[in-house]
Structure 1
Amino acid sequence: MEPIADKKHVWDKMNNWEEEILFLKTIIDKTELIETVKWGAPVYVFNKKNVIGIGGFKDYFAIWFYNGVFLKDEKKKLINAQEDKTKSLRQWRFTSKEDVNEKEVLEYIVEAIENEKQGKVLKPAKKEAIISELLNKEMNQNKDLAEAFQKFTPYKQYEFLEYIETAKQEKTKLTRLEKIIPMILEGIGLNDKYR
């Protein structure tokens, strides 16, 4: 692997944990995974699929398992960094080299590779239909708005509904509704300017 000359893509916290990261690498090198670099961090792949990544953070260094949700985790080592957002990724955090039990780490990695071979992947959940009473009320009172809304693809309709309904407060929902009514009437999708 060529040395990383391009400093801005280097994972900035790696240096705090250089020795520990190298130690993890020696363990991972005993498996059939192939090391690549993605997003500035070492990512290990099997059949071009991401299996694990390693990296240093401010207070810990970690191995993350891209499909960690399928690991048995009998030793209760894995955590989900973002409960509601992260579906399949799981992290195993360490705060010192002594925390790393090579035998256990290898067991988890071998299981992760096995899961990859079996093609265990989390299928994205079907999106729940969203109902916006506020928008419905507006459309009942304004025929043009209702007709304009119907002209959008289901995906774009969903974006509008999600935009209104993800607001926590009623006040914010109303502000968002006011913002999108002219867009709907003009046939402009919520995210058209970014597409």
Structure 2
Amino acid sequence: MTNSNKNPKVDAFLNEAKQWKEEYKKLRNIVQDCDLTEEFKWKHPCYTFEGKNVVLIHGFKDYCALLFHKGALLKDPHGILIQQTENVQAARQIRFTNAQEIAELEAILKDYICQAVEVEKAGLEIEFKKETDYIIPEELHNKFNAIPALKTAFEALTPGRQRAYILYFSQAKQAKTRESRVEKYVKHILDGKGLNDK
């Protein structure tokens, strides 16, 4: 990829990076060899093929990563793709803690990126779980029975908002905690708001 294909927003992101600067630059160079379009989305370098998101470079406290948007569809012969949490359905990461790891995996990373581009060329899509595949916790069911308007309001929410609530309520190990979480968000749901809406 020539310098003319470098996105100035990514240049600024790299210049301002306090952590992982060298690692980000190495990842950028590798991805740029794969003929993708460099963009800046979600405050991170994102690389696309014909408008479709392929990979994203991002960092966390303990590692930086190359995130494959449809990583669940990739073959992973090296066992390096990581599902961030059990609720992430499509994306997979390859994580790094230093630039040397990136350098050692360069050829493999390019293979995975090329594979991700082939997934886009083939038009493959992730088959996401439907909202009906998520089990509504008993505590929320009980609240629906006590307040029928709550069930109506919940069903009127977007599928993503419903899923966020179900996952949040279900993550609590104890019934008492699940009950208090449901109670806390009754008004929010009745107001048609998602978990993180103000």
| TM-score (ref. length: structure 1) | 0.69
1:169 aligns with 2:174: yes
Q: Distance in 1 between matches of 2:108 and 2:143?
A: 58
Gap change, CA 1:95 and 1:87, over 3 Å in 2: same
Segments of 5+ residues of structure 1 without an aligned counterpart are none
1:2 corresponds in structure 2 to 8
* Structure 2 alignment gaps of length 5 or more: 1-6
- Structure with the higher fraction of residues in helix conformation: 2
CA RMSD of aligned residues (A): 3.9
Counterpart contact for 1:51–1:113, Cα < 8 Å: yes
Superposition pairs of residues 13-92 of structure 1, within 5 angstroms: 14-82=17-85, 84-92=86-94
Q: In structure 2, what is the equivalent of residue 98 of structure 1?
A: 100
Contact kept? 1:163, 1:176, Cα under 8 Å: no
Aligned length: 181
Q: Give the whole-Å Cα distance in 2 for the aligned partners of 1:14 and 1:81.
A: 23
Secondary structure, aligned partner of 1:91: strand
SS of corresponding position for 2:20: helix
CA distance in 2, matches of 1:137, 1:4: 47
Partner of 2:4 in structure 1?
none
1:3 Cα deviation from its structure 2 partner = 5.3
Structure 2 letter corresponding to 1:37: F
Distance 2:63 2:139 in 1: 46
Percent of paired sites with the same residue? 32
Amino acid at match of 2:87: K
Between structure 1 and structure 2, the one with the greater Rg is 1
Q: Is the 8 A contact 2:154 2:190 kept in 1?
A: no
Q: 2:114 aligns with which of 100, 110, 113?
A: 110
Instruction: Give the whole-Å Cα distance in 2 for the aligned partners of 1:90 and 1:50.
Output: 13
- After TM superposition, the structure 1 stretch with the greater mean CA deviation from structure 2, 72-81 or 97-106, is 97-106
So what's the TM-score if we normalise by structure 2? 0.68
- Offset of residue 52 of structure 1: 0.3
Q: Deviations over 1:104-148 (max 9, x none)?
A: 111110001001111222132112363747855984xx7xx55x5
Relative to 1, partners in 2 of residues 1:180 and 1:153: Cα closer, same or farther, differing over 3 Å? closer
Q: 1:14 to 1:86 in 2, by over 3 A?
A: farther
User: CA 1:57–1:27 in structure 2 vs 1: closer, same or farther (change >3 Å)?
Assistant: same
